[in-house]
Structure 1
Amino acid sequence: MRQMDLFARNDVVEDLNLPALLQRLADVSTRPRYTFMVLNLIARVAGASDSAGPYVRERGEVIPVRDWLSDAMIPVTHREARRRAVVAHVRADLESRHMLPEDPHLAEQMIADEVRGRLRQSGRTNVSRAVSDLVRAGFLRRHYQGYRVDHENRGAQREAVYTITPAVKRALGKAS
């Protein structure tokens, strides 16, 4: 038996246009612009199948869909002051643990990699919140796919799969 998503809405209107979609997002989400951008990215990566995930292939690499969305949203959420603070914190953390190499180029690369990892982790959380808003609005269905069987609940080496509804696909102008 599959458990339905706790945030799912059953009153999705089949005749949805873009202004109505934006209005519903404004009603449901505390960050409707960010959530709309996530929806648009999911619709683009889903293509004709209407489903995005569990993995996205980019530049010959296979990436979990949440990581891909997080990476795609970093430029939008990038704030120079916050990024500088994260870089300073990472540098201090690595220095205190004596993990930075002597070579300045290698040290900067190590810091950049750690900053990217921390921003990705933070971005995954933001993407998950946006997806929960989209599910609550009735625009997406979410399940988890992976180890052994597909399942509505995460965990046990499963990755998220997002399925866009036909009404939202039409509203975004992506109808097939």
Structure 2
Amino acid sequence: MSERLGVPHISTGELFRTHVGEQTPLGREAKRYLDSGELVPDSVTNEMVRERLTEPDAKSGFLLDGFPRNTKQADVLAQMLAESDTALDAVIELQVPEDVLVDRLLARGRTDDTEDVIRRRQQVYRSETAPLLQYYSGILVTVDGVGDVDQVSARVLEALGNRS
């Protein structure tokens, strides 16, 4: 999708892996939390995103994935964007029934994707991330997230196109 839109895909998971792999100061700090199964603190995540958004390829737009995850991160993102005189065009919510989501994540085959862990993540989503739907209500685009990658991507692109 980022290729189609001509903007970089910025994923917090990828930022974590890159910083940890390159053993940057932020990566070393994140690794301590990741290795113990804890959430990386907002301050570390925010700084990684801030650094990434200042790179030249993000100047004309970007697709954020996995950020913000809570309203505190959203407030920090708003501040970052204001400093660079940038605004979000849209926030995309992919709606997927929980049982479908659990099946998808289990099918990835990752060692940390057990059904209990996935259901715990869903509880965190409901308490921490779901409030962002109200936070971004003015620019929220809700899309049916059931289907394969191509189907869902086409729906997202269509929904974004309908906003213009």
The answer, yes or no, to whether TM exceeds 0.5 is: no
TM class, shorter-chain normalised? under 0.3
Q: Which has the larger radius of gyration?
A: 1
Structure number with the higher helix fraction is 2
Which has the bigger relative contact order, CA under 8 A and spacing at least 6? 1
